[in-house]
Structure 1
Amino acid sequence: MTKLRIGILGASDIAFRRFLPALQKNSFFEYTCVAIANFEERNVTKFGDVQYFVSEKSIEKAENFKDTFNGTIYNSYEELLSSDNIDAVYIPLPPALHYHWAKKALENGKHVLLEKPSTTNLEDTKNLLKIAKQKKLAIHENYAFCYHGQVQKIREIIASGEIGEVRQIRTAFGFPYRGSSDFRYDQSLGGGALLDCGGYPVKLSTMLLGNESQITTASLNMARGHNVDLFGSATLQNHEGITSHISFGMDNFYKCELEIWGSNGYLLAPRIFTAPANLKVTLFLNNGQEKVLEVPEDDQFLGSLNHFSNCITDEATRLNTYSEIEIQSQHVHDIFIKSQNGVFNR
């Protein structure tokens, strides 16, 4: 089988550490190139010295990509996207840049794997999906945790009735302050806790409650110095009245967990979102008898790549994925809207 050629926009750390090692284990795609932004494309401060520094740093990182994973280097995003040498593109840029470059990729006939969130607003997400549908191209939002074996194991435990009927879900994802230079604290780059760590518990809650679930309450806490939300919470509810309480933050002690409380027991997954490929994940189940369950090592980035390839080859998977991306964007939009009456500044 001829492999599909995939390129990367931006020599990002996550592309180097997680994406490309997973790609090497995937039989569908072949890595061909990475692009660094030219002067006009670079979305940074206008001061010349900083501009030059960022450019030099990008070149250095791209050279490291080439030395480690081979492939070629393009000195422009536009040049890569218009090239006949790639069939698909991975976009790990800051969120505010997703819509612009994903749109150009789709218009150039490329399948798109986007780092989360798909875009920074519902309208842009819908526009991308409209273009993808018209051109019959795949677009996939890289919430890689969905494809880790522990998620399937959790579904099996729920279905088995080991914890009885699900009464409530609680899930949280947050990490300590990363410093003001991180793009997450820059509103113009699509920063903010909800768009970053908040999307994870929203996505997981939707998977467990069902696509018809709705946002019922939401609260965001803003930082005056950065003009972005630093932490927040929300509640999702499905048609059966089952709720999921989510918490998220990027000014918090580290937490990355899921708890499902049932009529006869509970299940705890303490590393639900960020399990590295070489980690055996541990789940804790208590239904009157405490059980420790081990889930084998699993590369969730590889799982996400496999799903992306299925989006390309299978129309039903592609259409379902469009729907899931829109639902996710709708939920995030609803949290923004519902939190407007309860935004707290710190």
Structure 2
Amino acid sequence: MMATRHLEDAIEEVKKSLETPVENQTTEEHNEDKPVETPAPEEHEDRPEDKPADKPVDTPPVETPAPKKDDVAEELENTNSVIRNRLKKQAEKYDRELADRDAKYEALAKQFEEFKQGIKKAEPQKTRDAFQTDEEYVAYLTRQQIDADRAEQDKIRKEREAKEAEAKAAQDKAEQDVRDRQERFVNNINYCFDQPEQKAEFMGKVKTYLGKGLGDLLDACPIASDYLLTSPRGPKVLDRILTDVNAFRRVFDPRGISPMDQYYELRELEREIYGKPATAATEQPPVETPAPAENRPAPKQVPKYGKPGAQGGGRSADVYTDPKARRDEVRRLMGF
């Protein structure tokens, strides 16, 4: 029920920030209590058509209009029913796995205790012969029993304190997380809705559907919950989901939807509401106007290189066949 608590606290926070304007009553509302004067009926001669008929006229029964169907609430209930059944099966499977694991741990713990008992039994135990009197022997046995009981109590106390500290740390972390998410959600509401009337209408809608299982649905869908409650545009998308049943079905499909597809649908709704942002393909860089010819820098002279494999320095002789060419090449390499 984390999402339910989160949304309820956010509703109260937004309500405190909203001022309820007092609207002046119109003159028509003041005049509603005044009696309306009806003109006196005109006197006229009795005419045959004015006389009541002998048989009463049957008036058709007035049909009461059927209440307006809430498609979103119905879809919300159906989706929650499917998710509850799915979670129930998962919980049963998880409980079986935990039971098997606990049984294995208990068996290992039992083996460890038997191992410790074997070690204790292997230790030399003093007998009556080691003591001069019976009182000393009884005192020895009593101290052993007291030490064993004290060690067992210390072990139980430390385990209990460790569990309590762990539970308190987890509770503090969960409460801090709720406060952080609540503060972020309130800031997102202020970002999405400018007018106090819009904020009040949105929070009233959220409160209505919280009573119909919205919190349970968000708890079962952590990806959607994280987006709707923490994203800057989440409240606007949530308002669309709670207003349009087709948008609701896109995000919370009763037939099942993967978290990745769910997140994709949420971002698609965001783009439909706010419009698609400009992409890198549409954002072309500015075109630079070329400088005039007289202001352009002189082009760099690219050095010319000979053909690959050709002898440089104008030497055409082969160093392998011409002794002079070979001597010159050796001098060049040696730096002479």
Normalising by the smaller structure, the TM-score range is under 0.3
Structure number with bigger Rg: 2
Structure in which a larger fraction of residues adopt helix: 2
TM-score normalised by the chain length of structure 2: 0.20
Which structure has the highest strand share of the two? 1
What is the TM-score with the length of structure 1 in the denominator? 0.20
